[in-house]
Structure 1
């Protein structure tokens, strides 16, 4: 009923009322300003009834990041770890915790205070099945840095001054280094062939974080990052320069290698300038590359 109502208003307003239609539909049955969605694989995802970003996906598009969904469904194992860096409301942490049953090995890291408060509500609603960390992912741990989050759109936030949303408010947050997060997960490892999946949703900080990683030390990492459709100076070019292998994750579940020789192919694949495209980085010959080869039936080099 909610989806029909939101869709009808979208049609009546020629698409201009998409966000409004979703919030009006959600408010009609939401409780205490919240609406609960049951995820396909289990778990509950709670959003505010005025959250146009998430409601548009959940009510009209009915899916979120199909490319990443396909990939994790095929590759993730119960023995692995998952670092959700820039977790937002925790959708992927909730989904992954249905596979990894140790809350210590699923870590949702979120810097924005308002967003983190909502993330913690989802953490409680899902029986604390993952770990939450109110930090900004940075080059090292313990720095105090500025963080800019949009007042009207919690999905728009960054540590980069030049990318700050027009309606953002500045807050000071403490950083956690990705290397420290990875080190903690290696201590918790329960199997020699366990992988550490790292989802980096840290707008504008990708190059700085990858610069801290030496591929020789991280064969067990499967790094998921965004290469935005509007950016022709591809983040992937820097990741390749660092010595990682990379691949493009398609919405249909297929995967395509991107190398320095065919980097131009990425421009053709990124057809929507408003969208962030999920990419995979891995170490050739490492444990992650071995898992990928077994799953996809070809060598990842």
Structure 2
């Protein structure tokens, strides 16, 4: 019986084929290469390029960029405004312990991003910003006494912001805004401040009452002066009116009128003295019995 070679080959075990695996590996490698051949820098960020660990001086701007796969790496550095909140403990000029709650708004400029990454790293807020803020806050607080820190808070904030800019601008960090949220003092100092405010309020109240009393007294005195002046003016007016009346009466009397008035009032007794013009000058009061006695006396 002849042997069928084709039948033998068909039934013989087949050797495994790596052709499909090879193409799968090639496809996967191509995907990995393609995925590592580009980068996208988010908005508000700067891409710091690392070539085998070396920092490039030329940062990448926002958007799509090509890069060497597996050789270059891109780190994103935020250039947005960031907020740093902290509590700073310092001592005032009058040796009062002051705990301050502060808020710092700052940003990193894009041109300085590579240097910041190279010299400080991604944690520059903790490594650089925090200690500088503490230092500037302590320095400014020591220039004011505790009461001035409260009453001149805006001046203190301005001074601290200026000091922060001087120390951080060289690193590319710019302070957008600095706020002192709150000052907290010891309980003893707070009690002293409260007692002082109460004393000042009582003093102000006393001064106000004194000023009011002075105003009332002045008003009463002015009223009395006005009343006295009015009374004096009334008396003067009355005297002037009487004088005017007397003058008018004097001007209206004539010798005939006077003689007529005297005749009307004469009781029939002849006066002892007469004027050269026959008028009555002196009315001598001699009772009627004396006149009668004188008339009955014989003449020598």
Interval containing the TM-score (normalised by the shorter chain): under 0.3
TM normalised by structure 1 equals 0.17
- Normalising by the residue count of structure 2, what TM-score does the alignment of the two structures yield? 0.17
User: Which structure is larger by alpha-carbon Rg, 1 or 2?
Assistant: 2
Larger relative CO (CA 8 A, sep 6+): 1 or 2?
1
